[in-house]
Amino acid sequence: MTDSRKPRQAVALSYQSGAAPKVSAKGEDKLAEEIIALAQQAGIHIHQDEYLCDFLQRLEIGDEIPSELYLLIAELIAFVYVLDGKFPEKWNNMHQKIMEEV
């Protein structure tokens, strides 16, 4: 009898302002577990999405994400910034303006 379970996968992205995010690490099974453990130890937020991970696994380390994923990845990066308490400078002004109107 064979084990038909899908192997655990992980893909790490790196991002520098002004450039598209790049695949910085990827792996399956034990390597995926190590990538996840290192991310957790470093306090890096982990997003679990089986379909996104499957797609990103097809890229090579150092590859930029395809333009079709820009919006999705940008939303994830923005969400992580919010989780870390970082907001764009204009956001506070906009938030204050909304509060004044309410």
Distance between CA 36 and CA 44 in Å, rounded? 9
User: What is the token pair recorded at 60?
Assistant: 């090579």
Q: How many residues does the chain have?
A: 102
Which pLDDT belongs to residue 95?
54
Read off the pLDDT of each residue in 19-29 and give the average, rounded to a whole number: 95
Distance between CA 63 and CA 61 in Å, rounded? 6
Read off the pLDDT of each residue in 8-24 and give the average, rounded to a whole number: 93
| Continuous segment of H or E residues that includes residue 26 | strand 22-28
Which pLDDT belongs to residue 87?
75
Which pLDDT belongs to residue 46?
94
Read off the pLDDT of each residue in 43-67 and give the average, rounded to a whole number: 95
Query: pLDDT per residue over 81-95, tens digit each?
Result: 888 888 777 666 655
31 pLDDT more than 90: yes
Read off the pLDDT of each residue in 69-92 and give the average, rounded to a whole number: 83
> What is the assigned CATH class of domain 9-101?
alpha beta
**Which of 20, 66, 12 is closest to 39 using CA atoms?**
12
Which pLDDT belongs to residue 36?
96
Q: With contact defined as beta carbons under 8 Å apart, do 73 and 65 qualify?
A: yes
